[in-house]
Amino acid sequence: MMTETQLLVWLRGPALQVAIAIFVVGVAVRLLEVLVLGRKADLAEARGSAVAGGMRTILMRSFPDRATLQRAAFTEITGYIFHIGFFVTLLFYAPHILLFNSALGISWPALPTPVIDATAVVTIITLVAVLIHRLTNRVMRFLSRFQDYLVWLLTILPVVTGYIAFHRIGVTPPILIAIHIISVELFLIVFPFTKLMHAFTLFMSRYYNGAIAGYRGVKS
Amino acid sequence: MSKDNTLGEILRKQGVSRRGFLKFCAATASLMALPPGMAPVIAQALEKARRPSVIWLSFQECTGCTESLTRSYSPTVEGLIFDAISLDYHHTLMAASGTAAEAAREAAMEQSYGNYILVVDGSIPTRNAGFSTIAGVSNRDMLLDTARGAAAIVAVGTCAAFGGIPHANPNPTGAVSVSDLIKDKPIINVSGCPPIPVVITGVLAHFLTFGAIPDLDSHGRPVAFYGKSIHDRCYRRPFYDRGLFAESFDDEGAKSGWCLYKLGCKGPTTYNACATTKWNEGTSFPIESGHPCLGCSEPDFWDGGGFYKAISTPTEDIGRTAVYAIGGGAAAGLALGAINRAKRNKAEKEHEQVTIDDLEKGD
Amino acid sequence: MSASLERGIHAFKEAIDGPVASFFSSCVHCGLCAHACLFYTETGDPKYTPIHKLEPLRRVWKQEYTFWGRYARAFGLSKPVTDEELGEWETLVYDSCTMCGRCSMVCPVGNDIAYMIRRTREGMAAAGHAPEGLIGASRRAVTIGSPMGVKLPALEAQIRHLEQEAGLTIPVDLEGADYMCLLSSMEIMNFPEYIGAIARIFKQANVSWTISSEAFEATNSGIQIGVSEIAAELVQRVVDAAEKLQVKAVISPECGHAYMAIRWEGPNLIGKPFSFQVMHIMEVLDQLREEGRLKTTGKEKQRLTYHDPCQIARRGGVLEQPRNLLNIVAEDFVEMPEAGKMNWCCGAGGGVSANERADELRLRVFNRKKSQLDAVRAEGLVTACSNCRIYLEEGLEEYHMDIPVTGLTETIAEHLVEEGEGGER
């Protein structure tokens, strides 16, 4: 029987190494599978710069056009909230920054913990709303598969378990911390096999979109 | 002191007033989170208590637990209570030595068979009996032998409770805890490196009062003292909650008394009474003195990932793992990408021209 | 050799490149593309969600080009694409999509869905799942030279009529001319005033131009049905004629997909760059305007608005020129909401109008265009694509809207300052 201390040391050690390895290898493989396919050179005469167009779209596609924002306000707004909330709680909570510093050697200022706490709550509520939307909205329900729901679960678990561990609700805190770490490792392991890859591939897809359009002189 | 005197008689002889004695009982009741109405019950029980025999076995230990217990700068009732136990065998404190000491132990065992309290400090080596023996007897054998007639066993200190320092990687002596060897006796783990003195006396007082062991947690520690984590009772908790951390030992944050999480404090995962009861009769405890909690009352605290590494940091070199993974992933990715490309090229090569006649399906 | 599932899957495999792979990798099923597609917004049927139209291509990508996908197929977790499915998808890919590309502008991860529809059609067609109407149009385009069956004599008749009636000169096969003009069958048959218009404008501006008797057809059914060999063959005819006549530039007329075919896909279809430029007629006219060679007088008094043809504006890059041109001949020019690169499709492009089966759906979703027009209360609608034009007219009639539709070139021509003519309307 492992003690809680041993469990935490293992989760912070070999288990994390395995999760990171699968994550990094998986992401690298999926990115290269796309990149190596490549794109044939465009033989038509250019009107604009493909590179400039590509770079522009990488940035500007983060901002929706007005008509779509009005038509799909729920999706757009909740999308912003939970993405920003997720990244803020991940990147600006002091203990997390220590983790990144330990692994990558870089550090940055943290946000006050009460701010992170509030952000986590907002993120959780928004993610629940997003799930309800996916289950009830006609288009979302039509498009959604098992993977969409699995990814939702794997995304909300670290936020919820982190919140619970911080506030120490329930079981013994070392176990709560262990559960949080496990949820993160599950997220990392499953990541490369799912649509979560969009976090990396969107740079390519937005670039290609903007490049194709930019070549023709259109700002997409 | 005659073994047949009651505790009440002994205390009175020592000049402890009734008031002082009742104050102690009230404090003990409160310490153990018992209702105030229990104080008179404790008083009544203790007064009539006959000094039980206590045999103290010291195995692979540093004697720190004994040091902690006997550290008192002014006579306290706890100290006197200690006198009120018939400490029939203790390497450091007893007068006898050699064969006389062992004879005393055996006599106590025989006289109070089934009723004596066995206190153990230090871990027990199992890899080779020669690592630690007493009078030529291995620790293991002495423990098993002495435990047979014990009413209860108190494993004092993290070494006896969980294996402690000798148990740390690579555990060359094969050190184990008391609970690893004894399965048929009630064991109270009073962990800590060392434990807080009043925790010992509280446990004993409970035993003397109720003739039963107190409520224990999943690690066999009294819930009254180990039920809350340091983090949950730490006076620096508001700083943790607000995200104000000392970054190094002597920076402004440290001087301002900010949270020591970043310096490796194990408060969040450590259960003990340090933050409330404190040490040296309420003087201070490590965090208050500016040092992060080591987690010394927890199993495997020596191998808990590093005293100065925060709980949220990895315990292995993740950076290196990532670098190897990038290398491996890049190689695998390029290979798979090349396979994709080859497949597409092959498809293009095998392309059969589609003409207007090919647009309808054949029959 | 006939169409078959095997050939279809084969074509899908060929069609998957880096962009396609990145798009499928990035889709998060957010459903925003549905809100950009008039086929969804006007029907509320989620099957018209753009990304859903690509499902067969996506599965082939997954099963052929991803490590995990290959195993998924082996273990039965991902089903191979069947002929039946392609049959089901035919209406999604051809009837309810004009490749207008509005979805491509809206996808938050940057998926160019229209790009992928174009490629999906390669597989659909090779598998024998292209609509009857398009198959017929392609056959006519290849064998006759025009999807509507317009042959040279018909064009010659129009030319004669214009030369006699309006005293214009329409140079045919003039070697060494600067510009070679293409025409769409729709213009030749339904809007011959376009030919007259360019003749008059070029005369005034002293532009050296010609039409080739060997390759006058601008439209490209290969692009619409999605068969690159056919598309390439049609482009090659134009290239051969342009090289023979040694023109500096080829002018694409008021036709949407024709511009896409010759300007952007052309060189890539035939595998080498052109030795001549390609310009849309609006680009030429705007250049003349900039050079001061376009002299007009008077302005349209009614409230006019402009419909951006998808393949020319959003997918083609000709956005500013129509505005520049209309502003010199229109007093009250207003923009519809979402005009420009975010304009809503007329619903008839990309082969949909050649597909009779899609008529009902097309007219139903015209409601989107109606809403745009209602918002500006236009009295006249100008556009630069004959296909848009005729189907805008049909849609307006269906919805009982009395708004005349005109071509941009004609509108400019009507305000030309010509010798001995006032030209005021």
ipTM > 0.90, yes or no: yes
Do B209 and B284 have their domain in common?
Answer: no
> Does B203 fall in a domain?
yes
For residue C315, the SS3 value is coil
Q: A28-43, pLDDT tens digit by residue?
A: 999 999 999 999 999 9
Residues B132 and B182 reside in one and the same domain: yes
Beta bridge partners of B229: B271
Nearest to B337 among A4, A37, A173 (CB): A37
Q: Which of B199, B222, B245 is the last residue of a domain?
A: B222
Which H or E element spans position B133?
strand B133-134
Please report which confidence band the pLDDT of residue C114 belongs to, taking 50, 70 and 90 as the band edges: very high
Chain A hits for B336, CB-CB cut-off 8 Å, are 29, 32-33, 36
CB contact under 8 A, B326 and A28: yes
- Give residue B13's pLDDT: 78
Lowest mean pLDDT among B92-96, C11-15, C248-252, C375-379: B92-96
The structure tokens listed for B326 are: 């990038």
**Total domains present in chain B:** 3
Q: Provide the pLDDT confidence category of residue C425 given band limits of 50, 70 and 90.
A: very low
Strand pairing category for C380-383 and C405-407: parallel
The single residue listed with the structure tokens 């009395």 is: C402
- Mean pLDDT over residues C253-274, rounded? 96
Amino acid identity at C119: R
Taking residues C282-287, what's their average pLDDT? 97
Q: Determine which of A45-54, B3-12, B283-292, C31-40 has the lowest per-residue pLDDT on average.
A: B3-12
**B103 located within any domain:** yes
Say if residue A114 is exposed, middle or buried (CB neighbours under 10 Å; 0-12, 13-18, 19+).
Answer: exposed
* pLDDT of C64 higher than 60: yes
Q: Is there a single domain that holds both residue B41 and residue B145?
A: yes
* Cα–Cα distance measured from residue B105 to residue B99, given in angstroms and rounded to the nearest whole number: 10
Instruction: Give the residue carrying structure tokens 């590494």.
Output: B309
Helix (H, G, I), strand (E, B), or coil: what is residue C250? strand
Return all residues near B140 (Cβ < 8 A) that are at least 6 apart.
B124, B125, B126, B129, B181
Same domain, B73 and B198: yes
Instruction: Count residue pairs from A and C with Cβ separation < 8 A.
Output: 173
Q: Is residue A177 classed exposed, middle or buried when 0-12, 13-18 and 19+ CB atoms within 10 A define those classes?
A: buried
Given a cut of 70, whether residue C421 has pLDDT beyond it is no
Would you say residue B326 lies in a domain? yes
3-state secondary structure of B8: helix
Phi-psi region for residue A41, left (φ > 0), alpha (ψ -120 to 50) or beta? beta
- Is B42 in the same domain as B84? yes
Q: Which of B195, B222, B249 is the last residue of a domain?
A: B222
Structure tokens at C86: 């392609």
**Do B293 and B148 reside in the same domain of the chain?**
no
Q: Does C80 touch chain A (CB under 8 A)?
A: no
Whether B255 and B330 map to the same domain: the answer is no
pLDDT of residue C31: 96
By C-alpha distance, the chain B residue nearest C230 is B355
| CB proximity B340 to C under 8 Å | yes
Residue A63 has a CB neighbour count (10 Å cut-off) of 10
User: What is the C-alpha R_g of chain A?
Assistant: 20
Among C residues 333-392, those touching chain A with beta carbons less than 8 Å apart: 337-338, 341-342
Residue C420's CB is within 10 A of a number of other CB atoms, namely: 4
Asked if C281 contacts C258 with a C-beta cutoff of 8 angstroms, the reply is: no
Q: Which residues in chain A have their CB less than 8 angstroms from residue B338's CB?
A: 36
Q: What is the pTM of this model?
A: 0.90
Do B85 and B24 sit in the same domain of this protein? yes
Cis peptide before B170 (omega within 30 of 0): yes
Query: Looking only at Cα atoms, what is the longest distance across chain C?
Result: 80
CA dist C12 to B306, C17, C159, Å? 56, 10, 43
Q: Which residue of A has its CA nearest to B228?
A: A172
- Helices marked H in C319-405 — which ranges? 320-329, 359-365, 367-376, 386-398
Whether B357 is in a domain gets the answer: no
Location of structure tokens 């236009």? C378
Would the CB atoms of B336 and A95 count as touching at under 8 Å? Answer: no
| Res A1: pLDDT | 61
Question: C233, C221 in Cβ contact below 8 A?
Answer: no
Cβ distance C230 to B358 less than 8 Å, yes or no, reads: no
Write the CATH number for B300. 4.10.480.10
The CATH number of residue B203's host domain is 3.40.50.700
d(CA C131, CA C358): 10
Contacts of B among chains (3+ CB pairs under 8 A): A, C
Please give the pLDDT value at position B4: 63
Q: Taking a C-beta distance cutoff of 8 angstroms, is the pair C378, C335 a contact?
A: no
Looking at the structure, tell me whether residues B108 and B136 fall in a common domain.
yes
Which residues make Cβ contacts (< 8 Å) with residue C122, sequence separation at least 6?
C11, C12, C14, C15, C226, C227, C228
A89 in contact with chain C, both atoms CB, cutoff 8 A? no
Q: Find out whether the peptide bond into B222 is cis, omega within 30 degrees of 0.
A: no
Does any domain span residue B363? no
Q: If you average pLDDT over every residue of chain C, what do you get?
A: 94
To the nearest whole number, what is the mean pLDDT of chain A? Answer: 95
CB B54 within 8 A of CB B208: no
Same domain, B214 and B126: yes
What separation in angstroms does the CA of C140 have from each of C222, C227, C407?
Answer: 11, 14, 26
Which runs of consecutive H residues, i.e. helices, occur in C246-319? 256-259, 266-270, 281-290
Q: Amino acid letter at B320?
A: R
CB neighbourhood size of C171 (10 A): 14
Reading chain B (363 residues) residue by residue, the pLDDT tens digits are 455 677 778 777 778 888 888 888 888 888 777 888 888 888 888 777 777 888 999 999 999 998 888 765 444 655 655 666 788 888 888 888 889 999 989 998 998 899 899 999 999 999 998 999 999 999 999 999 999 999 999 999 999 999 999 999 999 999 999 999 999 999 999 999 999 888 877 887 787 778 788 999 999 999 999 999 999 999 999 999 888 999 999 899 999 999 999 999 999 999 999 999 898 888 999 999 999 999 999 999 999 889 999 999 999 999 999 999 999 999 999 999 999 999 999 999 999 888 888 887 654
Q: Classify residue B1: in a domain, yes or no.
A: no
Sign of torsion over alpha carbons B254, B255, B259, B264: positive
Owner of token pair 């990488």: A58
Candidates B344, B347, B354; nearest CB to C227: B354
What pLDDT is attached to residue B59? 96
Residue B130 lies in a domain: yes
Half-sphere exposure of C310 (CA within 13 A, CB side): 24
- H or E segment at A10? helix A4-12
Beta bridge partners of C249: C179, C277
Model pLDDT for residues C130-181, shown as the tens digit of each residue: 999 999 999 999 999 899 888 999 999 989 988 988 888 899 999 999 999 9
B347 at C interface, C-beta within 8 A: yes
Taking 60 as the threshold, does the pLDDT of residue C99 lie above it? yes
Q: Which residue of B has its CA nearest to A95?
A: B312
Specify the length of chain C in residues: 425
Residues B101 and B28 in one domain: yes
Inform me whether the C-beta atom of residue A57 falls under 8 Å from chain C C-beta atoms: yes
State the Cα–Cα distance between residues B57 and B146, nearest whole angstrom: 9
Please identify which residue in the block is written with the tokens 């605290």: B301
Q: How far apart are CA A110 and CA A96, in angstroms?
A: 9
Q: What is the pLDDT of residue C423?
A: 44
Mark whether B214 and B252 lie in a shared domain.
no
Nearest C-alpha in C relative to B345: C14
Render pLDDT for C325-347 as a digit per residue (tens, 0 to 9): 999 999 999 999 999 999 999 99
Residue A99 in this model has a pLDDT that exceeds 70: yes
Domain housing B284:
228-313
Domains of chain C: residue spans and CATH: 5-130 (1.10.1060), 135-288 (3.40.50), 294-414 (3.40.50)
- Cα separation of C335 and C85, whole Å? 42
**Cβ neighbours of residue C65 closer than 8 Å, sequence gap 6 or more:** A33, A37, B340, B343, B344, C16, C21
Residue ranges of alpha helices (H) inside C167-254 are 185-190, 193-204, 221-225, 228-245
Rounded Cα–Cα distance for residues B61 and B192 (Å): 13
| Helix pair angle (C18-26, C55-65), 10° resolution | 110
What distance in Å separates the CA atoms of residue A74 and residue B187, rounded to the nearest whole number? Answer: 60
| Burial of residue A185 (number of CB atoms within 10 Å: 0-12, 13-18, 19+) | buried
Q: For strand B150-156 and strand C209-211, is the pairing parallel, antiparallel, or unpaired?
A: unpaired
Closest residue of chain C to B339, computed from CA coordinates: C65
Of A37, A110, A114, the CB nearest to B344: A37
Do B54 and B86 meet the contact criterion of CB atoms below 8 Å apart? yes
